[in-house]
Amino acid sequence: MSHDPYHELHRWLRTPLGQRLYALERRVTSEALAQVFGWQLLQIGQWGEDCGLIRDARTQRRAILAWHAAPEPGGPVAVRSRTDALAVQSDSVDAVLLPHTLEYEPEPHELLREVWRILSGEGHLIVLGFRPLSSWGLRHLFARRGHPPGLERMIAERRLRDWLKLLGFEMVDARRYLFTLPWGSPAVPEAQTFSERSGEVLWPMLAGGYLLKARKRVYTLTPVRPRWRLRPKVVGGLIEPTTRNGG
């Protein structure tokens, strides 16, 4: 993400609509992380000006990896790195959160391969994304600089599932959210809460966003010992009769 779109995005996240979106995604992310344990959680790409998305995580450590070209952000940014060559040791992270990061990346496949590399076996990946076939997708399509600002593309949920499957991820959970329209004044909190709760049950196809939770599957080969041919028992110096030489 370039310098200007980064600032535009975070200015937008401070607007009433952006704050509603951020508060909602804090809640759905917190619920997705409730059963994720381990030593290290890494959020790749800063979404918001604090660590709100990972604050309630149950891992021992939490950190944010910022885009290498981004200006100095707030929050606990532990490392700044290229996303197509993460400055993180292989098999060293228990969980990764991508809050719309793939939608800002020029090469999302490269980032997903890097995520696979740094995740430990059975490690979790959580992805937040916008649905192209939604009111948010329509707003993005006609926005001159994308919506939210700087967004390069929206990735369909089914397409992302296919990418993860090819890499060897196993789907654990999926959720659709964001039933607030992306224009006009946002609904009051009570109305938005009702819309979200009822929308997930009654009209999930109208959701503007989705959350996918996947696990890195590592299949180990179990060596199979050869079944040695049974040797006939010797009784009193004579070979014990078998079914073949019996009689």
- pLDDT value of position 223: 64
Residues in the chain where the model's pLDDT stays below 50: 1-3, 69, 71, 73-74, 237-239, 247
- Neighbour count for residue 222 (Cβ, 10 Å): 5
State pLDDT tens for residues 21-62: 999 999 999 999 999 999 999 999 989 878 899 999 999 999
Q: Are 71 and 50 in contact (CB under 8 A)?
A: no
Amino acid (one-letter) located at 108: P
Domain limits, the chain: 3-239
What is the residue-wise DSSP string for 191-231?
HHHHHHHHHHHH-GGG-SEEEEEEEE--PPPPPPPP-PPPP
> Pairing relation of β-strands 93-99 and 61-67?
unpaired
Q: In the block, which residue shows the tokens 């292989």? A: 90
Q: What is the CATH number of domain 3-239?
A: 3.40.50.150
Structure tokens at 107: 């090469």
- pLDDT value of position 50: 82
CA dihedral sign of residues 186, 187, 192, 198: negative
Distance from chain centroid for Cα 234 = 64
- pLDDT value of position 247: 47
